[in-house]
Structure 1
């Protein structure tokens, strides 16, 4: 096999072939600024949702987004924190702290790089739609539930990981609702729903957060308390604690040097890596699905074509480097990438510019972020959860899909909500694979050939039987299909099997066919295989199933099969 270099910088090669111009530069500048403004509050809100300080979401955009844009395979993908990861990352943060979360992200980055180098990008397209729709809908439900606390200003006695217990605590905490938070949330939700209909060119969430911040300040002046980001989060500078997020760039630190769940540095060990490996694999799989799905959407909007393996490597590099500077898990976001395309982006430079906007915001606007109400950020994530859950698509699928697909969708949704994403994706894929195998095995059958099927079958002696196998012979169908060849009355001396409709066979089918031949050998029965494709004959020869005089023969058509069978009878090979 010839050695090939990793598919890096594919998006930039596509840009060069498309031809770059001043008009393209203007489009990238405008799109980068637009998407950067959109990304700032979302990055902070998503970081809070996964249980870490809001600046870690901004660091993710600052580090991962330009690195992925530089090395990835899609011209229009914009990467950063996404809502899809909340369900996976929050339990990691609760159990292992910030250090564990960043280490898990680093491991996921390594897995994605390995997937890209192994050219696994095309395999993601084989994940069934009910699986992705089920777990994204379940993620939306969980995210929406998590926002109720800040949306209403509720005081919870604890933060359980179990969804049912969490829901029960929220119901019990309803008497602690805060009027100021509820009012801010209601106003922000109204703006988020109505503003895009009135002024679609200006991001509605930016207006909603500005309105929420102004309303929060006004309510505070009237003595109505409103929880703000500055009250919830703070940073230490020169021994003095300041509210909000730090107005300076992140510094390099190994994840295991950062605090764990107990506040102490996380000791790096094989046992820790073993515990984080399963969620890291789930993060890598979900990141690959999200990024490649996002690239497909962008391709459909622009007529371009992404390189899936390069995109996986780019996403892996971003998630490998970002945790070293405090960034959490990143992947391409469909909403931001679509906004990037609509704003006129032409190349990955737009994603780099969007990260530069976040850099400016960190350095110049950080003190203002402390005035953002937590209820406003919760309202923003509530709309994100609604959009990603796609309730219309879910209901439509439940109405029109086959029962097996409905079962897969509901299973993934339920497991995501009640347990976790790792279990939901694993069970969903196994269930979908099992149902697919069942459907494919139903397409494979073995039936006796009637006399009228071909003139060569007319007046065949009763010692000769003819069958036809149709469909792929694989582990789910081989035994059922080939067992039919054993069910006939005694006295048969030759069996003809028409196999022109068999496109492939696997090791299970080869073993089953070998068993049939052994039975025939003991009973003195010859087997004539008709119309086998070159690929099937090659597999049979490699498996040691060769032509045997009076026992096994390959022919091209039924007329040759008739002549061979009659000759065997005449020669007395029994």
Structure 2
């Protein structure tokens, strides 16, 4: 039960005044970092600026209150931007709300069913491929605002988008791009001046002042959205229908999976920094509740944000109190200062997201993966290009299916079936000789088949091929299974077919060194009764001794007699 307990409960037991002040300080700093990102991500996702803050406030508060990590900071992230934009374009704001709530429900179910530990089995080339693909897509989506291009409607598809950019290059605004470059320079250079206050915030303030002071012809949040609301988020229920759910369930699943991966990766990274251990299933449940409430209060999908979580740790945050303070600080900013956001240039927000895209591109990891096996490189590239050119949903699906097939192929190559003749040099598990010189005349009568590796559908054909090598004189078959950790239904079927073949040819079966899982599979299928409990041996030496006795007609019952 403790694994489904929020970390807040266990961390406040020995809470000190000193830690409280550290958490408050960290929470305020993280809120300042989250402010420009939340606004920028909301606009880039196709929704109004305040919805980004609604998400950071509502979801951020719940993730810290109920989450399974001590230091996780939740809110909108770049990973969702492309998915959200696509949903808004195709289904509107109400469709986004429904998809966000559905994703939350799915995440809760994943946590209840203890899928928190399963997420880690998603192959690294897939996560790198779609993360890098998302980064490139985010970068591409910001070109219009960064350059000030005159395009009425930017296409959704990657190639169409760049065709539109190239066709509108003669409309580049010098004033706009100058402000965008200024914002980039400030963002990149500011950490040398002060690492506590984020460069993105300074860039937005500085460029807003410059644009207003010199009355520059640069598009701002105000020129695009008008007056920005500072009202508190209101609870609204969307119009759920079965048709809407049917169309939105697929993107909702993508949001749930992507959100789960990102939040748990963030939790793992933070564990390494503070020497802690997060509760993955509780974290998924908290993320699910946060997304449901974010949807009802007009927000967009949320997850654990790695950059903000790391900033929280570096500034002294060690308990969920820091995340709660972060949410409350953003609430204060929303009510008091939100109307001022209308002066922020869109090109400056584009500069912020260009830096976000660069930081999440993982280009070093992408490059490093080219030193991996060719199959991993194939998964990486296919996931990357499908993410960029087609769809993130399809990228994850294709990447997982391809990885699964390649994994099965590798496992099939690892598993082998050896046919051993009785040889005086053969040794048992203790290194002792199994066979004595005086039984060499039984070579043709007794065969030892050794299976090495998982006995599953990828290796079943090897087993059946090896059976075809049984000679006409063989009447005893010893199956050495000490190196078989597990077997599946296909392998069980092959085993059953092997018994039929041996029954037809009156070949006795002896099994040695079988492990618990394979034995349980055979037992449930009733095959242990067919073979006979007395024909299972702990060591191959015992099995061969019995085989020798049988070959000499001593106390032997033919378990394969028809």
TM-score range, shorter chain: over 0.9
2:4 paired residue among 7, 11, 14:
7
**Map of 1:81 onto structure 2:** 76
Q: Over residues 33-70 of structure 1, what are the superposed CA-to-partner deviations in whole Å (9 max), with x where a residue is unaligned?
A: 00001111110100111111011001111111111111
Q: Over residues 369-402 of structure 1, what are the superposed CA-to-partner deviations in whole Å (9 max), with x where a residue is unaligned?
A: 110000000000000000001212211222x211
Q: Following the alignment from structure 1 to structure 2, what is the Cα–Cα distance between the partners of residues 107 and 5?
A: 27
**Map of 1:532 onto structure 2:** 514
Does the 8 A contact of 1:51 with 1:93 survive in 2? yes
Does the 8 A contact of 1:65 with 1:318 survive in 2? yes
Q: Secondary structure at the match of 2:467?
A: helix
Q: Secondary structure at the match of 1:73?
A: coil
Does the 8 A contact of 2:444 with 2:471 survive in 1? no
1:201 paired residue among 192, 196, 211:
196
2:247 paired residue among 257, 260, 275:
275
**Map of 1:505 onto structure 2:** 487
**Map of 2:430 onto structure 1:** none
Does the 8 A contact of 2:291 with 2:302 survive in 1? yes
1:185 paired residue among 180, 189, 205:
180
Q: Are 2:140 and 1:148 equivalent residues in the alignment? A: no
Q: Following the alignment from structure 2 to structure 1, what is the Cα–Cα distance between the partners of residues 376 and 308?
A: 30
Q: Secondary structure at the match of 1:417?
A: helix
Shift of 1:16: 3.1
Q: Are 2:65 and 1:70 equivalent residues in the alignment? A: yes
Shift of 1:568: 2.9
**Map of 2:535 onto structure 1:** 553
Q: Following the alignment from structure 1 to structure 2, what is the Cα–Cα distance between the partners of residues 58 and 107?
A: 21
**Map of 1:238 onto structure 2:** none
Q: Are 2:42 and 1:37 equivalent residues in the alignment? A: no
Unaligned residue ranges in structure 1 (runs of 5+): 235-242, 257-267
Q: Following the alignment from structure 1 to structure 2, what is the Cα–Cα distance between the partners of residues 167 and 154?
A: 12
Q: Secondary structure at the match of 1:446?
A: strand
Q: Following the alignment from structure 2 to structure 1, what is the Cα–Cα distance between the partners of residues 301 and 200?
A: 23
Q: Following the alignment from structure 1 to structure 2, what is the Cα–Cα distance between the partners of residues 349 and 255?
A: 31
Does the 8 A contact of 1:466 with 1:497 survive in 2? yes
Shift of 1:550: 8.7
1:315 paired residue among 276, 287, 297:
287
Shift of 1:548: 4.2
Q: Over residues 240-270 of structure 1, what are the superposed CA-to-partner deviations in whole Å (9 max), with x where a residue is unaligned?
A: xxx2x101112121123xxxxxxxxxxx321
Q: Following the alignment from structure 2 to structure 1, what is the Cα–Cα distance between the partners of residues 33 and 266?
A: 17
2:381 paired residue among 390, 410, 413:
410
Q: Are 2:210 and 1:227 equivalent residues in the alignment? A: no
Report the aligned-residue RMSD: 1.7
Q: Secondary structure at the match of 1:30?
A: helix
Unaligned residue ranges in structure 2 (runs of 5+): 428-432
1:425 paired residue among 393, 396, 399:
396
Q: Following the alignment from structure 2 to structure 1, what is the Cα–Cα distance between the partners of residues 142 and 516?
A: 60
Q: Are 2:312 and 1:357 equivalent residues in the alignment? A: no
Q: Over residues 306-339 of structure 1, what are the superposed CA-to-partner deviations in whole Å (9 max), with x where a residue is unaligned?
A: 1000000000000011111111101010000000
**Map of 1:240 onto structure 2:** none
Please list, as runs of the form range in 1=range in 2, the aligned pairs for 1:373-388 lying within 5 A after superposition: 373-388=345-360
Q: Over residues 425-456 of structure 1, what are the superposed CA-to-partner deviations in whole Å (9 max), with x where a residue is unaligned?
A: 11111111111111111111001225222333
Q: TM-score, normalised by structure 1?
A: 0.92
Does the 8 A contact of 1:87 with 1:139 survive in 2? yes
1:133 paired residue among 114, 128, 131:
128
Select between 161-170 and 526-535 the one with higher mean Cα deviation.
526-535
Give aligned pairs, total: 545
Q: Secondary structure at the match of 1:255?
A: coil
Q: Following the alignment from structure 2 to structure 1, what is the Cα–Cα distance between the partners of residues 469 and 251?
A: 50
